[in-house]
Structure 1
């Protein structure tokens, strides 16, 4: 969607801005802004899941290794 980045920035620049207000500032519909909100939430959840998976993988060392990547 064109304008996703602008909507996200408008929302992020002010902690008191709602998604509807961000939509008005950028000139898109509130429905479009809600789509951006849902997309960012989904991407955030995916990031947290991948971060947790990477952490659990990193914590498992092979027998006989020093526990260092070097």
Structure 2
């Protein structure tokens, strides 16, 4: 890995890390949406593995149900 000696290198590395963090958040949110929409025990376990509490999942489910026409 190259040594980060310049401000430009540091800036580029920061942008790369921010992009990676954004991609991780998208993947996490996608997994949560799948777990909530299907509402199966195995998908709830996926959300739990991602560190999402059952209470948070239940709040999302309630909100989705309230938003349905």
TM-score by length of 1: 0.52
Cα root mean square deviation, aligned: 2.2
Structure 2: unaligned runs, 5 residues or longer: 46-69
Matches within 5 A, 1:41-56: 41-56=18-33
Superposition deviation, residue 30 in structure 1: 0.7
Separation in 2, partners of 1:2, 1:57: 39
Runs of 4+ in 1 over 2 A off after TM superposition: none
**Contiguous gaps of at least 5 residues in structure 1:** 4-22
2:41 is aligned to 68
TM-score, normalised to structure 2, is 0.52
Query: Which structure is larger by alpha-carbon Rg, 1 or 2?
Result: 1
